[in-house]
């Protein structure tokens, strides 16, 4: 089914029957991703007055409680409130949900004992393209990313100048398949987060960072319409479900 969307001054056509889900779910039937030194997520059936609230146990409904941390266990979208003393809500500050995005594939470069994404790599990928969002797929891109245990593994990250470049280029929404845009252990400097959100100046309250995505290898680099759906949590970060649609030329 082809839909035409008016986006700013441009008419965009997409096939709404072919969504590309780049989120990672919490799925208790298999190992889940995990980062930041916390326990695994839990989905637990509630018990009330000694009755297990589960249809297979004789209850009328299934009634589960979920314990998780959005930063550690699931695809999530965060705002500047993630790193400010005042906890701003991503749910309040994010007002729009459709964006023109560029999917790019980057092989992080070796720098000392780290692997990093450099400004040169992003400039090469984006060139003179004007986009609202960037979706970064890192190499190697293995399915194990969807269940990797990231704590104490020093994953790749963005250099400060790379995040600064994205801000200067007008990218409002940064999506990446890593647990963080910053180095795992950086003494709390969070250089890329601070640069992207411009915390030393006029903070970009409506800009977001989405981490723990997964872009299948079958998806080509290029231009897409992004629907960045978030759960309505009044918190610095919330679980999210980014969906891509290939733009039909």
Extents of the domains making up the chain: 2-34+70-248
pLDDT tens-digit readout, 50-82? 999 999 999 999 999 999 999 999 999 999 999
CA-wise closest residue to 136 among 153, 113, 159, 112: 159
Q: Are 134 and 166 in contact (CB under 8 A)?
A: yes
pLDDT tens-digit readout, 151-191? 999 999 999 999 999 999 999 999 999 999 999 999 999 99
| Distance (Å, whole) CA 123 – CA 174 | 15
Which residue is listed with tokens 């705002």?
A: 79
- Inform me whether the pLDDT recorded for 249 exceeds 80: no
pLDDT tens-digit readout, 78-129? 999 999 999 899 999 999 999 999 999 999 999 999 999 999 999 999 999 9
Q: Are 165 and 123 in contact (CB under 8 A)?
A: yes
In this structure, what DSSP letter does residue 54 have?
-
pTM, to two decimals: 0.97
Q: Which residues of 212-243 are buried (b: 16+ CB within 10 A; e: fewer)?
A: bbbbeeebeeeebbbbbebeeeebbbbbbbbb
CATH superfamily of 2-34+70-248: Putative cyclase (3.50.30.50)
pLDDT tens-digit readout, 194-205? 999 999 999 999
pLDDT for res 9: 87
143 CB neighbour count, 10 Å cutoff: 10
In this structure, what DSSP letter does residue 146 have?
G
């Amino acid at each position: 089914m082809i839909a035409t969307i008016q986006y700013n001054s441009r008419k965009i056509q997409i096939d709404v029957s072919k969504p590309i889900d780049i989120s990672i779910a919490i799925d208790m039937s298999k190992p889940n991703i995990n980062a930041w030194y916390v326990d695994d997520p839990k989905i637990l059936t509630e018990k009330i007055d000694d009755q297990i609230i589960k249809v297979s146990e004789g209850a009328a409904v299934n009634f589960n409680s979920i314990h998780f941390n959005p930063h550690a266990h699931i695809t999530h979208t965060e705002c500047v409130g993630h790193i400010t003393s005042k906890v701003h809500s991503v749910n309040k500050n994010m007002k729009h949900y459709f964006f023109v995005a560029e999917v790019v594939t980057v092989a992080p470069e070796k720098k000392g004992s780290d692997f990093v994404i450099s400004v040169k790599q992003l400039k090469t990928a984006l060139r003179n393209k004007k986009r609202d969002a960037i979706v970064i797929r890192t190499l190697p891109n293995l399915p194990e990313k969807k269940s990797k245990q990231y704590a104490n593994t020093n994953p790749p990250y963005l250099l400060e100048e790379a995040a600064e470049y994205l801000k200067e280029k007008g990218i409002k929404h940064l999506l990446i398949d890593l647990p963080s845009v910053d180095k795992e252990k950086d003494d709390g400097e969070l250089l890329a987060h601070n640069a992207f959100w411009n915390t030393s100046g006029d903070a970009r309250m409506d800009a977001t960072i989405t981490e723990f995505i997964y872009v299948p290898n079958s998806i080509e680099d290029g231009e897409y319409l992004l629907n960045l759906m978030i759960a309505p949590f009044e918190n610095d970060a919330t679980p999210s479900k980014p969906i891509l649609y290939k733009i039909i030329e």
